[in-house]
Structure 1
Amino acid sequence: MDKLDPKTDGSSMDIVKDNIEQLKAIFPDVCCEDKVDFTALKQLLGDNVETREERYIFNWHGKSNARRIAQTQSTGTLRPCKEESKNWDSTQNLFIEGDNLEALKLLQKPYHKKVKMIYIDPPYNTGKEFIYPDNYKDNLNTYLEYTGQKDAEGRKFSSNSDSTGRYHTNWLNMMYPRLKLARNLLKDDGVIFISIDDNEQAN
């Protein structure tokens, strides 16, 4: 793999801008001064636009914010550590130590669509305490209010409340931006392998 160029502008790839550029290439008429005219876009797409508010979709509380997190630029820096490296001038390997979300953002520019295979081993969301945070649970009261099972005064609307969905919410919010950014790094024929158990396999 190519080495990271230390002479960068200090920011990660602007994913929103890149999305707009791709949209411009396909539908130049819907973009003006880096703004998207969604009315014009809907007209060009014709009957292929989904307008119903209720439809079958994989959704959860916080998904919109998770999408925004993936698109937010990072101003972090990857610092080379030559004294701890081997064969610095000839190695084809790269080891990054740090927050994986920030690292994925910083890899967007140099490795966009260049990676053949990704393997990840995320937290399994088992509810047990590990060194790596592995207990992503939404507050029960927040969950019940959001799902319409309880009002602001704490009165339950349903006696048959769902008590398991809240365990998945924050885990999904943690995973979504990382998978989204990892997908951007893959080649067209690239693959991603994920180790997971039954706790979140369905998600």
Structure 2
Amino acid sequence: MTDEATKLPLESADIIGENITKLGQLFPEIMGDGKIDFDKLREILGDSVDEGQERYAFTWPGKRDAIRQSQTPSTATLRPQKDKSVDWDTTKNLYIEGDNLEVLKLLQRSYHGKVKLIYIDPPYNTGNDFVYNDKFDDPIENYKQQTGQESSANPETDGRYHSNWCNMMYPRLRLARELLSDDGAIFISIDDHEVKDLRAICDEVFI
């Protein structure tokens, strides 16, 4: 036998294992103990999941809709303002004004997997600070709300005090993860009000 023959692999390719690895790379949050959480995979792909069987999970009211928020394509458009720009033809910087959820979606096409560093300073959910609401029937009201022309509080007396904050953060963090390069890092400022929930979301999104 030749040396080349003795170096041939003696086992067939583990196609199933390779496919599981690829799925884990595409959707890290579906993996647990090296296995696929098929209910979570169906959720991410937009399918409904039977809630009849109870099991441990980090969840809250509105989580499924928060996942869908990150999956829904944006119909917004980024418009350049050359008259307000500096060194338009040579600059290496990009400054964008707009709703951060929509902007994160729009950046995916050009910057997916290319961003080295993300820093965010989200609302701390102290009860009076601004909390996004991503459901609006009237785009004018949406604009006023997102640009701070109307205030929005999230009092602790609200039965969904923490859920409201998680629903705002989850889709944005999922989209931010898609922008990060393999060696990229994200830094988040937060205080004690939501640090526990933030850590749990990050453990799921950036697993």
TM-score (norm 2): 0.59
In the alignment, which residue of structure 1 is the partner of 2:72? 72
Matches within 5 A, 1:159-174: 166-174=160-168
Q: 1:58: how far off? A: 1.1
Q: CA deviation at 1:172?
A: 0.3
Q: CA deviation at 1:135?
A: 3.2
1:122 corresponds to 2:116:
no
Q: Give every structure 1 segment of 4 or more consecutive aligned residues whose post-TM-superposition deviation is greater than 6 Å.
A: none
Q: Relative to structure 1, is the Cα distance of residues 81 and 49 closer, same or farther in structure 2, using a 3 angstrom cutoff?
A: closer
| Residue type at the aligned position of 2:19 | I
Work out the percentage of aligned pairs sharing the same amino acid. Answer: 59
What is residue 59 of structure 1 aligned with on the other side? 59
- Match runs of 1:1-203 below 5 Å: 26=19, 48=35, 53-129=53-129, 135-136=153-154, 140=158, 143=159, 166-203=160-197
> Match for 1:94: what amino acid?
L
Q: Cα–Cα, structure 1 residues 103 and 182, in superposed 2: closer, same or farther, change >3 Å? A: same
Number of aligned positions between the proteins: 136
Instruction: Name the Cα RMSD after superposition.
Output: 2.6
| Structure 2 residue runs without a partner (length 5+) | 1-17, 21-33, 40-51, 131-147, 198-207
Q: Post-superposition shift, 1:57? A: 1.8
Pair 1:59–1:137, CA change in 2 (3 A):
farther
Q: Is the 8 A contact 2:70 2:172 kept in 1?
A: yes
Q: Distance in 2 between matches of 1:129 and 1:122?
A: 10
**Secondary structure at 2:163 match in 1:** helix
Counterpart contact for 2:66–2:171, Cα < 8 Å: yes
- The TM-score with structure 1 as length reference comes to 0.60
Structure 1 residues 62, 179: CA separation in 2 closer, same or farther (over 3 Å shift)? same
Distance 2:54 2:183 in 1: 34
Q: 1:107 is paired with a residue of what secondary structure?
A: helix
Aligned to 2:43: none
